[in-house]
Structure 1
Amino acid sequence: MRELCRTPGCNDTPAHDVIVHCRHHLAERPVSELVSMASDWGYYHCEGISDPTLLMGSPDADLLVKAAVVHGAFEQVTTALLNACFDDPHTLEERHLWDESAAIAIRYAMDRERVRLQQIATTEARRIKKATGSCTACGQALPPWINLHLPPQFCSKKCTPPSPDKDRAWSPWSEHIAPA
């Protein structure tokens, strides 16, 4: 028996055991929680896989990325997810010192998944812009370009409301969220 979404009053089931909210409420979660779920999901998804280059896209990863787009937190969530699934890109060569081809294959797989997730994020940002029509803060027309560092429902950074954890740096190798 699966747990229900942790949003009060919701009877939907979460997308995954470590993604504890349904797809309808996932985007309402704070960035820090999305990053934590992405990291947990990445470790869970890749547990027991001996060859990370065989990892392919997942609907669960797509949901996390779509939720991150709402906050303009694509980079934070994607980095947590990819580092949990593959490896810290800064230590990849050190960990595969004796097998350069393995390091190259993992980096290629990581880049391939980052591009796939970026396409998902761009499509979601376009969908949100089309549904919103104009900036939800000032009412001006939304710019035609996609900026994954800015919530797509706002026209500029000055219209974006402050988030208590949006501008914090996060590393899957530390147990805390430290100010950037």
Structure 2
Amino acid sequence: MLRILDILFSLMGLVVGFPILLIIYLVGLFDTGSPLFFQQRVGRNKKPFTLVKFRTMSVNTKSVASHLASASAITPLGGFLRKTKLDELPQLWNVLKGEMSLVGPRPGLDNQLELTNARDKHDVYSVRPGITGKGQVNDIDMSTPERLAKVDAEMINELSLKSYFVYIIQTVTGSGQGDRVG
């Protein structure tokens, strides 16, 4: 049932949100010259996939977890996109393709070994990663891998139709601050 909702909502979001996606893309051309950001992430069953987001940091920023990146790398548009969470909109494509869900553990980088090990221990890789989830709406990010893995596991075990919608609504209405930047 949740996969059907993922497909419907991501398709609807991409179609209805197309004008917003296009505007952000065009403004991003002037901000960084390269408005989309593609990054290898760890998905379900630890299968790698390419996550797509709007670029929020300068083009030459090293590909590391947000909490390890320099805050000075965030562009003016990027600051706005992060604050409003609009940088996440292109991930609706990842959801539509089946690589992600709207709700699930945020996908980590393959070089985040401490997070990968903690998530392995808590069987977090048994589900699709998500755009949002319990960790995100409660300001728990990848800088605390063991804590995040525990919260991810709690969310997976407790996930219901009701909590699916609660996490989405909390995200849209501004709960959580997103990933902390160094």
Query: Shorter-chain TM-score: what band?
Result: under 0.3
Q: Which protein has the bigger helix share?
A: 2
Indicate the structure (1 or 2) with the bigger Cα radius of gyration: 1
Per the normalisation by structure 2, the TM-score is 0.24
- If the length of structure 1 is used for normalisation, what is the TM-score? 0.24
